[in-house]
């Protein structure tokens, strides 16, 4: 049985004081959940989140890192630096990074390798644009992204991975994918992993749906066989809505 994984992606929001307040209010509300709850905070909040999360059941995540171990990469942050501050998960390949910062699936593969070496779990995002969806290219785009992003990873690594299927047209738009589409695409992700590795790896990998997940629609996604959690942007920024999302997950 795969454990459900609910991750909040705060993107470029929240100052350290907001982070501390959020965690102090939120942590007691989800202390009994059986799900894995993750907060992916901005770099500047990591130190504060790490300390405030101490003794809670919430996991700390970051939103990006560099694929190299160390060196002359001005402005960058390494996996080891994140690990030294209690980070357990890092989002890679988010569509905003693919679109605005030219992150490719080859970068994702290098980042994933580096994260596993630092004992951090990658949350790999894949998903198609609206034009690709309209052109019926979803399966092709998603399976290619998976294949290229997993290049060089072992089955043991992939079985520990979290993959977030996020149709780009659903991110931050309020236009979430209907439940049949979300399940079909998450199943496709699992089948792609199976074709690249084996059944056991595909059964172990956890697959999230992301894109305008809200308290009023999360239940139906979580009832799907191949959806093991959600990656949540906007609705993770408020204590009440993020708590409702965790509670509604069965």
CB nearer to ligand PGA: pick between 94 and 107: 94
Count H helices, E strands: the chain?
Answer: 12, 8
CB nearer to ligand PGA: pick between 197 and 229: 229
Structure tokens at 31: 């202390």
Say whether residue 172 binds ligand PGA (CB under 6 A).
yes
CB of 173 to ligand PGA, least distance (A): 7
C-alpha to C-alpha distance for 171 and 192, rounded to whole angstroms: 23
Say whether residue 124 binds ligand PGA (CB under 6 A).
no
Q: Where are the alpha helices (DSSP H) in 101-198?
A: 105-117, 130-134, 138-149, 155-160, 179-196
Say whether residue 249 binds ligand PGA (CB under 6 A).
no
Given 171, 177, 207, 246, the residue binding ligand PGA (CB under 6 A): 171
Task: Output the 3-class SS for 173-218.
Answer: CCCCCCHHHHHHHHHHHHHHHHHHCCHHHHHHCEEEEECCCCCCCH
Q: Angle CA(4)–CA(217)–CA(9) in degrees, nearest 5? A: 55
Using the contact rule CB under 6 A, the part of the chain among 113-121, 151-159, 165-173, 238-246 near ligand PGA is 165-173
* Catalytic (active site) residue 36: no
CB of 71 to ligand PGA, least distance (A): 30
Nearest to 168 by CA among 196, 206, 142, 144: 142
Say whether residue 61 binds ligand PGA (CB under 6 A).
no
Question: Could you say which residues in the range 67-106 bind ligand PGA, by CB under 6 A?
Answer: none
Say whether residue 217 binds ligand PGA (CB under 6 A).
no
Which residues lie across from 121 on neighbouring strands?
A: 89
CB nearer to ligand PGA: pick between 116 and 165: 165
* Catalytic (active site) residue 132: no
Say whether 238 sits in a helix, a strand or coil.
coil
Say whether residue 234 binds ligand PGA (CB under 6 A).
yes
CB of 232 to ligand PGA, least distance (A): 5
CB nearer to ligand PGA: pick between 202 and 213: 213
Say whether residue 183 binds ligand PGA (CB under 6 A).
no
Task: Output the 3-class SS for 25-36.
Answer: HHHHHCCCCCCE
C-alpha 58: how far from its chain's center?
A: 15
C-alpha to C-alpha distance for 12 and 156, rounded to whole angstroms: 32
Residue 145 gets which letter from DSSP?
A: H
Say whether residue 233 binds ligand PGA (CB under 6 A).
yes
Say whether residue 127 binds ligand PGA (CB under 6 A).
no
Say whether residue 210 binds ligand PGA (CB under 6 A).
yes
| Residues in the chain, overall count | 250
Binding site for ligand PGA (CB under 6 A): 9, 166, 171-172, 210-213, 231-235
Residues designated as active site: 94, 166
């Amino acid at each position: 049985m795969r454990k459900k994984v609910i991750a909040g992606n705060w993107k470029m929001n929240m100052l350290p004081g907001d982070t501390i307040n959020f965690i102090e209010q939120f942590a007691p509300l989800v202390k009994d959940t059986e799900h894995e709850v993750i907060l992916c905070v901005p770099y500047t909040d990591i130190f504060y989140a790490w300390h405030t999360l101490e003794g809670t059941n919430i996991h700390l995540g970051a939103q990006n890192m560099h694929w190299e171990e160390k060196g002359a990469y001005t402005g960058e942050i390494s996996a080891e630096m994140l690990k030294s501050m209690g980070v357990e998960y890092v989002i890679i390949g988010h569509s905003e990074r693919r679109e605005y910062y030219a992150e490719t699936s080859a970068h994702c593969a290098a980042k994933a390798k580096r994260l596993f070496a630092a004992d951090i779990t990658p949350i790999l995002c894949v998903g198609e644009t609206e034009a690709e969806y309209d052109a019926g290219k979803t399966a092709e785009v998603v399976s290619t992204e998976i294949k290229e992003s997993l290049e060089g990873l072992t089955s043991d690594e992939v079985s520990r991975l979290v993959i977030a299927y996020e149709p780009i047209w659903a991110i931050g738009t309020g236009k979430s994918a209907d439940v049949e589409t979300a399940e079909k695409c998450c199943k496709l992700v699992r089948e792609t992993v199976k074709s690249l590795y084996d059944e056991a790896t595909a059964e172990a990998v956890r697959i999230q749906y992301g894109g305008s997940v809200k308290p009023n629609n999360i239940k139906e996604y979580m009832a799907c066989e191949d959806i093991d959690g959600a990656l949540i942007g906007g609705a993770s920024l408020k204590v009440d809505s993020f708590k409702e999302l965790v509670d509604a997950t069965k």
